[in-house]
């Protein structure tokens, strides 16, 4: 009886841990100016700007002149983040649009409603912030298998890969509509979502490891 009870407790703890460790969904950044949609694409976590408090933003601080006029909506922020073995943490790169630079980064779920992001320069000069969930976790994208064979596009393009556009409407996404208060959940696949399944975006579908 004790063994059975212990097994049930361990199972419940494992299920709770698995639920708490899901970083996918839409997250409101600390200063409230944007939502970042995080989804698993081809085995990595990616995060893209899914909503802006002030629409029409441009990546004006990018050191690459050809990208200074690209829209920030749909722009990758969390890039190719891999899960760390034995930890509920993913590591990769974060793009900081405020200075146009890439930094080494980790994301760590804190319970089910918060996501901690940390970025580091030279491996030790680190800073971070905590994001708040505004939409539920996102199931694995049905576009993942398509994305592997999608044509490559110019880096940091926010245009969906042409070969995968037909599947966009069938994709399951967590959607944060403009203006929801932090902590308020939104429903999946709502009309008017300008970003949709981020695994179909050219930057992600055409990413080469």
Count of beta carbons in the 10 Å neighbourhood of residue 157: 20
pLDDT value at position 148?
Answer: 40
* Global pTM exceeds 0.85: no
pLDDT value at position 15?
Answer: 46
Q: pLDDT digit string (tens) for 24-80?
A: 999 999 999 999 999 999 999 999 999 999 999 999 999 999 999 999 999 999 999
pLDDT value at position 29?
Answer: 96
Q: Taking the CA atoms of 75, 23, 137 and 52 in sequence, report the sign of the dihedral they define.
A: negative
Q: Is the pLDDT of residue 91 over 90?
A: yes
pLDDT value at position 182?
Answer: 46
Q: pLDDT digit string (tens) for 113-151?
A: 999 999 987 666 788 999 999 999 998 766 654 434 333
pLDDT value at position 140?
Answer: 77
pLDDT value at position 196?
Answer: 94
Q: What is the mean pLDDT of residues 166-174?
A: 39
16-30, 58-72, 82-96, 100-114: which has the minimum mean pLDDT?
A: 16-30
Helix (H), strand (E), coil (C) string for the chain? CHHHHHHHHHHHHHHHHHHHCCCCEEEECCCCCEEEEEEEECCEEEEEEEEECCCCCECCCCCCHHHCCCECCCCEEEEEEEECCCCCCEEEEEEECCCCEEEEEEEEEECCCEEEEEEEECCCEEEEEEEEECCCCCCCCCCHHHHHCCCCCCCCCCCECHHHHHHHHHCCCECCCCCCCCCCCCCECCCCCCCCCHHHEHHHHCCCC
Map out the domains of the chain as residue ranges.
22-205
pLDDT value at position 168?
Answer: 38
Q: What is the mean pLDDT of residues 90-114?
A: 95
22-205 under CATH 3.40.47.10, yes or no: no
pLDDT value at position 208?
Answer: 60
């Amino acid at each position: 009886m004790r063994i059975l009870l212990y097994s049930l407790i361990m199972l419940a703890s494992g299920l709770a841990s698995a639920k708490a460790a899901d970083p996918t969904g839409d997250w409101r950044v600390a200063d409230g100016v944007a939502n970042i949609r995080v989804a698993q694409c081809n085995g990595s976590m990616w995060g893209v700007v899914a909503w802006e408090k002030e629409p029409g933003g441009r990546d004006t601080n990018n050191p690459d002149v050809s990208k200074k006029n690209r829209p920030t909506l749909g722009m990758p922020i969390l890039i190719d983040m891999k899960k760390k073995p034995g930890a509920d943490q993913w590591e990769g790169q974060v793009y900081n649009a405020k200075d146009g630079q890439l930094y080494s980064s980790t994301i760590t779920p804190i319970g089910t409603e918060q996501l901690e992001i940390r970025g580091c320069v030279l491996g030790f000069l680190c800073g971070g912030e905590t994001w708040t969930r505004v939409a539920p976790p996102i199931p694995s994208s049905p576009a993942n298998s398509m994305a592997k064979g999608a044509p490559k596009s110019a880096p940091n393009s926010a245009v969906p890969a042409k070969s995968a556009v037909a599947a966009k409407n069938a994709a399951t996404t967590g959607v944060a509509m403009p203006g929801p208060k932090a902590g308020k959940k939104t429903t999946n696949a709502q009309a008017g979502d300008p970003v949709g399944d981020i695994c179909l975006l050219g930057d992600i579908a055409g990413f080469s490891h």
